[in-house]
Chain A
Amino acid sequence: MSDSQAIAVDMRGITKQFPGVLANNHVDFSVRRGEIHALVGENGAGKSTLMNILYGLVHPDSGEILINGKTVHVGGPRDAIGLGIGMVHQHFMLIPVFSVGENIMLGREPVTGPDFYDRAHARAAIEDLTKRYGLALDPDARMGDLPVGLQQRAEIVKVLYRGAEILVLDEPTGVLTPQESKELFGVLRDLVKTGKTIIFISHKLKEVLEISDRITVMRRGKVVGHLITKDTNEEAIATLMVGRAVLLRVDKAPAKPGEVALKVDNLTATSDQSVPALKGASFELRYGEILGIAGVEGNGQSELMEVLAGTRHASGGQVLLAGRDITTMDANTERDAGVAFIPEDRRGTGLVLGFSIAENSILGRERALTFSWRHFVLNLVAIRNWALRLVKEFDIRTPSIDVAVRNLSGGNQQKVIVAREIGSNPKVLLAAQPTRGVDIGAIEFIHRQIVKERDAGAAVLLVSAELDEVRSLSDRIAVMYEGKIVSIEPPDTPEERLGLLMTGGGARAGAA
């Protein structure tokens, strides 16, 4: 094949300096027409910056972009759309209160008369697209009412409607269930068959290996490797991404379960929208074991963790901690009783972003006598020493403990929470999505800490949207579906069986 013909995207020597960060450092990136090209790297490696440059949202300091062999200037999204580049963003660019049709048409709306939005024409255009690519959608549905999988489909149709030949998908599977991811991959393969080119940004190496033809790896603003998918493996990519060998499997000894720590009996609670979310969950958690909860997000896991942590009221049922009823205890009393909580929303509930690392490191324990004089005046020296110790022990990368956590990377923010919670030597550790959005290197570290805590005799309850994480970390797996524990499975249960249980199939009656 002649080179210039076959290359759809060719970015040469792209450099972009942000204040304090060299986001892209002479990056060369090329994608062949009709391939699925994966762009992988840790958070902050420069993937998003590179793609934002391609889409015109960010302007490079130097370097050039060639589309189909021609040098182009991408001044903004409008230019990119004109060049046939479409982007499906990680955080959907969809308006929940608009209809599916309006969302897809936005920016290229069909018009009649002076300036009237032409609904009939819009509907016809979408029907045509959905037929051509086999992506069924109801143009009149309200976007916010659709499940995430369909919202993403709408994003893809939106991009196709604009005539995109080159599709950039930024972390497209982050919000999808395993089933939805499978469907997405089918869609992507079909799109490539119709001649589209796809750039697939991800840090999930399994998926990258499954879907891509070639891989470009970035680290700290530089391209560190070009790989051909069929000739590589997870370990090789991970090593390039992190810059050192990474242990992808969790290395742990068999659990030695002790007494029952938490006994949850027929627990019920409502969600923020006041609809029942927990509908009679029952299980036992023992000291010295990790019980993982698998489930599609929104099946009551969040509410379960919050009730156990004392930040949400139970509407019924009972929670016993070592035989003592803690159902109605508030978060403060529970902390005193030895329950630690890593919340799923680290920026919202886990940290005060404007506070320093030192201040965040004692949140919830600020009245303990170690940190304050007569529960009243903070002992700043003790707090600083404590924070310094955590930073060292938990490898939090920061210039100082006085830095506001807002300025830390996501992985380091998470480490601050993990350090604070584990550092309190809890009897029970509640970990909700402990590694969400965290880099491979930090994931490895956090996993080791959780296992270490188990080995020290703590009871660990883990909730994760990543089935892989649940399977590799847990000693037992509880499957949650519609607010109940539908089954308890061993950790080596096949993914297919778990997937089935998670969506309400295959549960034996009364398996809980």
Chain B
Amino acid sequence: MTPVTDILHLLFTANLWQATLAAAVLLLLPALGGVISERSGVVNIAMEGMMLTGAFFGVVADLAWHNPLAATGVAMLAGALMATVHAVVSIQFRADQIVSGIAINIFAAGLTVFLVNRIYGLQDVGHVGQSELIPYINVPGLDQIPFFGKVIFQQNVIVYVALALLVLTHIVLFRTRLGLRIRAVGEHPQAADTAGINVFAIRYGAVITSGLLSGLSGAFLAIGISNTFVPNMTGGRGYIALAAVIFGKWTPGGAFIACLIFGLGQAIYDNNSIIHVSPYLLSMLPYLLTLVVLAGVVGRSTPPAADGLPYVPGSE
């Protein structure tokens, strides 16, 4: 069979779409955080590092406590801590947000490798027991729906949580007072400030929220999908999530669609054994899609007006 028919055949299997959704959620969590952060005016390229830190500390905590829930909490806190560094540097000290983000990513990569060696020596980190992973749960009844039951309702707990967060993020951003204020701060911080809104508090909140979500995604990766920590195991997913934010025009729904497209690329790669194409070629797929997207296939999208600009009170 030719690769094309292989892929076409694959597209009609529920397995592929189940894997697509899981891969998409891995991107969706940081992407939602990215939407929130950038809507408040802080470019967050540090999601990669936050995710990686979350993944590492999630594994550490799970190995120590044998409690996936607590471990997930630790992963989120680790992500939030990295986010706080980004917030202090870029909001308080008005540093270039891209530079701060890249620094955090490099720092996270180094820190986790260092700690792996320090804590576990040169051996493996060790594997988390099956019962101590974030569980997969089939939703009773719904999981029996043909095709869609398997795709949507036979998933990891985190997938359900992420889909709920997707809806929640949309509602908060576009229907609530808090969302109006977040968007105001990202569009025109001076206007928000003069209207009596605390610009710094909103931006800190938004950036730290994105850290929590990236950390959650890290936990999903390390102690949900996988069962151990491997250096640089996020493999650029934080960056792809950032691309999804832009592709999705800074909306949760748009970002989700982008994540599904990237997730599909990932899922096709993961199924490479039944496609007669070099797996190395397939492994490029998600990144290739990212490039195509960023080159403007989706049309020009306009970021929030004050995205990436530090706020200096009293300035015009």
Measured CB to CB, the residues of A under 8 A from B are 52, 55, 57-58, 76-78, 81, 87, 89-98, 102-103, 106-109, 111, 114-117, 158
* Interface assignment of B195: CB less than 8 Å from any CB of chain A: yes
Known: A95-B184, A95-B187. A107 touches B314 (CB 8 A): no
The answer for the CA separation of A93 and B196 in the assembled complex, in Å, is 12
| 8 A–B contacts from the bound complex (CB under 8 Å) | A55-B194, A57-B313, A77-B194, A81-B196, A93-B194, A107-B192, A107-B196, A111-B177
A107 touches B195 (CB 8 A): yes
Cα(A114)–Cα(B172), bound, Å: 11
Does chain A have a CB within 8 A of B193? yes
Q: Is the CB of B180 within 8 A of A89?
A: no
Residue in A95, A108, A117 whose beta carbon sits within 8 Å of that of B188 in the complex: A95
Q: Taking the complex as formed, is B118 at the interface, i.e. its CB lies under 8 A from any CB of chain A?
A: no
CB of A89 within 8 A of CB of B176, answer no
B197 on interface, CB distance cutoff 8 Å? yes
Query: Contacts A57-B314, A77-B194, A107-B192 hold; do A98 and B184 have CB atoms under 8 A apart?
Result: yes
CA distance A113 to B184 in the complex (A): 21
* B181 within 8 A of partner (CB): yes
Given contacts A52-B314, A57-B313, A57-B314, contact A95 B177 (CB under 8 A): no
- CB-defined contacts of B188 to chain A, threshold 8 Å: 93-95
The complex places the Cα of A58 from the Cα of B193 at a distance, in Å, of 13
Known contacts A95-B187, A117-B176; is A77 also within 8 Å of B195 by CB?
yes
Enumerate the 5 nearest inter-chain pairs by beta-carbon distance, A residue then B residue, closest first: A107-B195, A93-B191, A78-B196, A107-B196, A115-B176
- Closest CB of chain B to A454's CB: distance in Å? 35
Given contacts A57-B313, A97-B187, A98-B187, contact A117 B177 (CB under 8 A): yes
Docked pose: A422 CA to B187 CA in angstroms: 40
Chain B residue numbers with a CB within 8 Å of A114 are 176
Distance in Å: Cβ of A269 to nearest Cβ of chain B: 23
| Residues in A whose Cβ lies below 8 Å from that of B177 | 109, 111, 115-117
* A74 to B289 CA separation, bound complex (whole angstroms): 53
- Which chain B residue lies CB-closest to A113? B176
CA distance A58 to B314 in the complex (A): 7
Report the Cα distance A109→B176, complex, angstroms: 10
Are B194 and A89 touching (Cβ within 8 A)? yes
With contacts A102-B180, A111-B177, A116-B176 taken as known, whether A87 is within 8 angstroms of B187 at the C-beta atoms is no
A115 touches B314 (CB 8 A): no
- Chain B residues whose C-beta falls within 8 Å of the C-beta of A90 in the assembled complex: 316
Q: Which of B176, B184, B192, B194 contacts A87 (CB 8 A)?
A: B194
Interface: B190 (CB within 8 A) = yes
Please determine whether B190 and A93 come into contact, CB atoms closer than 8 angstroms: yes
- Bound together, the chains give a CA A122 to CA B131 distance in angstroms of 53
Given A106-B192, A107-B196, A107-B197, A115-B313 contact (CB < 8 Å): no
Nearest CB in chain B to that of A87: its residue = B194
With known contacts A52-B314, A57-B313, A102-B180, A108–B190 Cβ distance under 8 A: no
Determine the distance from Cα of A127 to Cα of B220 in the docked complex, in whole angstroms: 50
- Of the residues B180, B190, B193, B305, contact of A109 by C-beta under 8 Å: B180
Residues from chain B with Cβ under 8 Å of A115 in the complex: 176-178
Given contacts A78-B196, A95-B305, 18 further A-B contacts (CB under 8 A): A57-B193, A57-B314, A58-B314, A81-B196, A91-B316, A93-B190, A93-B194, A95-B184, A98-B183, A103-B191, A106-B192, A106-B195, A106-B197, A108-B195, A115-B176, A115-B177, A116-B175, A117-B179
**Bound complex: CA A90 to CA B187 (Å):** 18
User: From residue 158 to 179 of chain B, which have CB atoms closer than 8 A to chain A?
Assistant: 175-179
B10 CB, nearest partner CB in chain A, Å: 42
Instruction: State A81–B188 Cα separation when bound (angstroms).
Output: 19
Contact check, B193 vs A77: say whether CB atoms are below 8 A apart. yes
CA distance A93 to B176 in the complex (A): 21
CA distance A108 to B177 in the complex (A): 9
Complex Cα spacing A98 to B180, Å: 9
B315 to chain A, nearest CB (A): 9
Specify the chain B residue showing the minimal Cβ separation from A86.
B194
**Known A-B contacts A106-B181, A106-B197, A115-B178; A95 and B191 likewise in contact (beta carbons under 8 Å):** yes
Residue of B nearest to A104 (CB): B195
* Alpha-carbon distance between A13 and B187 when the two chains are bound, in angstroms: 37
